[in-house]
Structure 1
């Protein structure tokens, strides 16, 4: 009986020792890993920027404030917020490259329109988000936007809160972005949503409402590109169903 009790006590002690050893090794391993993770070896020293065609990489890297930060402890949401404070940057994605590198992949907004104002020129994307304020548009291939009453002129905000105008501007802007022809659309007027018009040089394009805009603009491009028509001044009317009407002046 005493032998059985003694054996039980010994087994119990061995279990306690093993348990303590396991806990010790877990604690030791955890501390070791924590120390390694915080080692300078993992501090970010190499940053690359991808997919940026408009904004300089140096500006994006500077905004990220990532140099010297531990690669395991970066906050993607916080970094994205800092970078997207530049209105030209729409989205940000970070990729860790161990042991101390980061790739910043960005999606940029493309400038499509400009609006003249007494205090300068505002550059906009197709959604009418104000990307920057400039003294001129030299070097930029943009379409002037008229007929829109601004509700804000702060960089980073939308020029207007009118959702219908924003929708029409977005639809036209996307078509301008996709335009592969050499036809330069100089102006888009949205003053009347039922009598929209655009200018290509001295030719006025009468669009009517915003229905079938792609077809309307393609018809206009076809007429403008047809040398036999010789249309350099006048108008093209595509505001109705049926064949376009054009006139030289």
Structure 2
């Protein structure tokens, strides 16, 4: 009988302990919830900017700074990212929460590399064929003129056309131009004509370079650059056919 009573007492104590633990847990959760949602402990005070935002910097900062004072736990980063992505120059955005008070914003920009004349204005175009900007002046911009794209019915932010072949060409030409500038050999791609992908042309200043199609384009560019530097042609360089290049 005594043994039975002891078992009963232990069970009763155990139940009381469990109830107390549950109540304590509920109390702690309540306190944490209050601290998280009802105090300024998790209020956004600091914003750290990373990545490339040379062009979009002011736009990014203006919109992101509005997050200051918001509760970092319930702050909707997806909505802010969606808003920032409306800028045509923004390629990607990531926003990380660093508790208790910091947002980390990482921006990757599209680069305006080419421009095409459009009436009295200029269309700024990225290497992946997005129309980034329509401007009346090219002052301060070091861009390559491109001919042969249809941008008249396109709005800023839109992709001009789906053409992976052309994108590869534009990317390759951009990298070639970067290398030319880095090597500083006095040669630069100033414009290109992609009206006919089987008969493409680029220009080193006033010198026309006939590339033909996009096969062996890297070699063609290298040959054309060497001829321009060493032979100093006056009119054209032709690397569009097999065999030795021609120039005049």
| TM bucket normalised to smaller | 0.7 to 0.9
> Secondary structure at 1:185's aligned position in 2?
coil
More displaced, 141-150 or 20-29? 141-150
- Change in Cα spacing, 1:74 to 1:213, as seen in structure 2 (3 Å) is farther
More displaced, 71-80 or 102-111? 71-80
Q: Tell me what 2:192 maps to.
A: 188
Cα offsets for 1:221-245 (capped at 9, x unmatched): 222222xx233x3111111223321
Please give the alpha-carbon distance, in whole angstroms, between the structure 2 residues aligned to 1:175 and 1:76: 38
Q: Tell me what 2:8 maps to.
A: 9
Alignment of 1:206-217 (within 5 A): 206-217=210-221
Q: Tell me what 2:107 maps to.
A: 106
Could you tell me whether the CA contact under 8 Å between 1:47 and 1:61 is conserved in 2? no
Q: Tell me what 1:160 maps to.
A: 161
Q: Tell me what 1:230 maps to.
A: 232
Could you tell me whether the CA contact under 8 Å between 1:112 and 1:176 is conserved in 2? no
TM-score scaled by structure 2?
0.87
Q: How many residues align?
A: 243
Could you tell me whether the CA contact under 8 Å between 1:51 and 1:105 is conserved in 2? yes
> Secondary structure at 2:122's aligned position in 1?
strand
Q: CA deviation at 1:133?
A: 1.0
- Change in Cα spacing, 1:151 to 1:210, as seen in structure 2 (3 Å) is farther
Q: CA deviation at 1:177?
A: 4.3
Q: Tell me what 1:57 maps to.
A: 57
Please give the alpha-carbon distance, in whole angstroms, between the structure 1 residues aligned to 2:81 and 2:94: 7
Q: Tell me what 2:118 maps to.
A: 117
Unaligned runs of 5+ in 1: none
More displaced, 130-139 or 145-154? 145-154
Q: CA deviation at 1:170?
A: 3.7
TM-score scaled by structure 1?
0.87
Q: Tell me what 1:220 maps to.
A: 224
> Secondary structure at 1:27's aligned position in 2?
helix
More displaced, 18-27 or 81-90? 81-90
Q: Tell me what 1:23 maps to.
A: 22
> Secondary structure at 2:88's aligned position in 1?
coil
Please give the alpha-carbon distance, in whole angstroms, between the structure 1 residues aligned to 2:36 and 2:22: 21
Could you tell me whether the CA contact under 8 Å between 2:53 and 2:108 is conserved in 1? no
Could you tell me whether the CA contact under 8 Å between 1:151 and 1:159 is conserved in 2? no
Alignment of 1:136-147 (within 5 A): 136-147=137-148
**2:177 pairs with 1:176:** yes
More displaced, 137-146 or 85-94? 85-94
